Structure 1
């Protein structure tokens, strides 16, 4: 078998990788995200989707409906609660307006009848006593006449008491119970209305629809981590940069930087510092929902992409280079940069 000492021809990478534009650089991998971060919207109750109101790329205002679940059962429950509220209000109104004008004449008539009966029984009793004195009536007849008089007097007192109670109107405690029933019915209506409203999922903020993963007729549950609609404020795009913990001693807040999207190492995207999320966490793979951990920790720094001609998308990966040059070493850095350029 023949062997040769000729070196294998160098192969060019299909895409030129990005190069650091600064002498003293902190490099990190970034992920483009909305200014509001990704807002993952899901249903709060399980059900069948009856209508989807938005499409990907549309702008929505806060409170705009995104999709709606089947609400026929909730609407029926709401109507039942509304009927119960109407009944409770009618009952309270009836108590507050008592006595009815139509109830007073019959009550007065019962009082007059009882007075007439009492008078008749009194006359009977007096006549029997007069006859008893003349030895014409018996003791038994006197007792019966007296008992009839006492019964008539009791009936009169009963009729008078009932008439007075009628004129006094509803008892205060009965009114309190009726008002409590109305309040409870009102709360049940409010609860039913909220249940109906919860079936319409709305946008929490002004945003752009980034993803729609729901269609009419589908049954959706409420499992965590499974959004149906993803929203984001894309008027200004942010880059979430992972700074390796090994580079943290050289990192300072406010460092200027540039980014290069994957596949384009020629177009630099200027960025401005926004904030630091002061929690060093395990590094994760650059996917929207990735949980893969590696043996290093990173500090996440947020930069804002300045407007430019280059079109970028949420979720796109970007190579980020931060200028870590110390201000006091400007001349030395300049000489070092000139030396590198001369090579």
Structure 2
């Protein structure tokens, strides 16, 4: 038997063990896997109604203030016609009063009307302040706040009308009634303008430039107030989301530049870290690490430097740390 044979066997066994240890030892990943994410702007009507017209489709690029959709306005159309009729009636009454003979004064009745108007004003003012506070906390809708504001404007006009009527009550009857008719015209015109504003809001415009990402409702479907009809993705709202193992977390910090690569990305695409999750989470099933070292990872978001790149949401990307110059 060759005395060197056992030594050769031992040497081969040692090399095999070392190789196994080398390949079994987790190596530091050269990059991280992730995907394109976006913060969508959900756009809906202020008042609930049926969708009458949809001017865009998913994938359409729109500029700021582009009409997106229009809600039906049958109720508001009737209210608008009624408000305009009241304006014409008030104006006709004013013209009649200018030509009328003097009538007896009723100051006591007018003061009682003023008291009622002030009481209504106090209630509407309190309701407007309450709705404004709730809206600030996110517990109320813009529509509810606007309705409270409309009621407040109405009662302010009513108080002004009552005060003018009292002032006119101390004057010759013709002047008194003319002033009251003028106040009635002002009030009717204010109510008509309120209806016009509500009706105009039923056509919804893009608050900023972007791409229509999704449409949730079509013409004929009923939408509640504030319920999104479509989702808009502004270019600056795209971001790269990737997941980093705990052992690599120290290499990242807010503002750090990373390089992103993908099949349709220009090379190189740089992004800056804007968010690092403070809590670990299990690796999402859709993420496949280049060399997985653990089950717990930290979510990191990075904003591309060039927001004009229309990267589709969900696009898989590879991320690596940019070299420090």
Contact kept in structure 2, 1:30 and 1:320, CA below 8 Å? no
Quote the Cα distance in structure 2 between the aligned partners of 1:75 and 1:210.
32
- The one-character-per-residue Cα deviations of 1:12-64 (angstroms, maximum 9, x if unpaired) are xxxxxxxxxxx88563634243xxx4222123332222221122333323222
Match of 1:217 in 2: 220
Contact kept in structure 2, 1:241 and 1:300, CA below 8 Å? yes
Contact kept in structure 2, 1:241 and 1:320, CA below 8 Å? no
Contact kept in structure 2, 1:66 and 1:200, CA below 8 Å? yes
Q: Residue 53 of structure 1 is aligned with which of 52, 55, 60?
A: 55
Could you tell me how far 1:297 is from its partner in structure 2?
A: 5.1
Contact kept in structure 1, 2:56 and 2:212, CA below 8 Å? yes
2:313 is paired with a residue whose SS is coil
Match of 1:27 in 2: 32
Change (3 A) 1:210 1:260: same
- The one-character-per-residue Cα deviations of 1:300-333 (angstroms, maximum 9, x if unpaired) are 332235878xx8413423232223x566xxxxxx
Match of 2:200 in 1: 197
Match of 2:241 in 1: 241
Could you tell me how far 1:79 is from its partner in structure 2?
A: 0.6
Quote the Cα distance in structure 2 between the aligned partners of 1:267 and 1:40.
27
- The one-character-per-residue Cα deviations of 1:165-206 (angstroms, maximum 9, x if unpaired) are 9x956334x444334322322222122112212322221122
Change (3 A) 1:88 1:245: farther
Quote the Cα distance in structure 1 between the aligned partners of 2:194 and 2:254.
49
Contact kept in structure 2, 1:48 and 1:219, CA below 8 Å? yes
Change (3 A) 1:67 1:199: same
Match of 1:39 in 2: 41
Residues 57-96 of structure 1 aligned to structure 2 (within 5 Å): 57-95=59-97
The structure having more radius of gyration, on CA atoms, is 1
Could you tell me how far 1:280 is from its partner in structure 2?
A: 4.3
1:239 is paired with a residue whose SS is strand
Q: Residue 207 of structure 1 is aligned with which of 197, 210, 226?
A: 210
Could you tell me how far 1:83 is from its partner in structure 2?
A: 0.8
Match of 1:13 in 2: none
CA RMSD of aligned residues (A): 4.0
Moved over 4 A (4+): 23-26, 242-245, 266-269, 277-287, 294-297, 305-308
Change (3 A) 1:245 1:43: farther
Match of 1:318 in 2: 317
1:75 is paired with a residue whose SS is helix
Quote the Cα distance in structure 1 between the aligned partners of 2:265 and 2:308.
13
Could you tell me how far 1:92 is from its partner in structure 2?
A: 3.1
Q: What TM-score results when the alignment is normalised by the length of structure 1?
A: 0.51
Contact kept in structure 1, 2:51 and 2:71, CA below 8 Å? yes
Contact kept in structure 1, 2:256 and 2:273, CA below 8 Å? no
1:91 is paired with a residue whose SS is helix
Unaligned runs of 5+ in 2: 1-27, 103-168, 287-294
Could you tell me how far 1:267 is from its partner in structure 2?
A: 6.8
Quote the Cα distance in structure 2 between the aligned partners of 1:43 and 1:318.
36
Matched, 1:259 2:260: yes
Unaligned runs of 5+ in 1: 1-22, 105-164, 288-293, 328-343
Match of 1:10 in 2: none
Contact kept in structure 2, 1:210 and 1:229, CA below 8 Å? yes
Change (3 A) 1:256 1:248: same
Could you tell me how far 1:223 is from its partner in structure 2?
A: 6.9
Change (3 A) 1:267 1:219: closer
Match of 1:271 in 2: 269
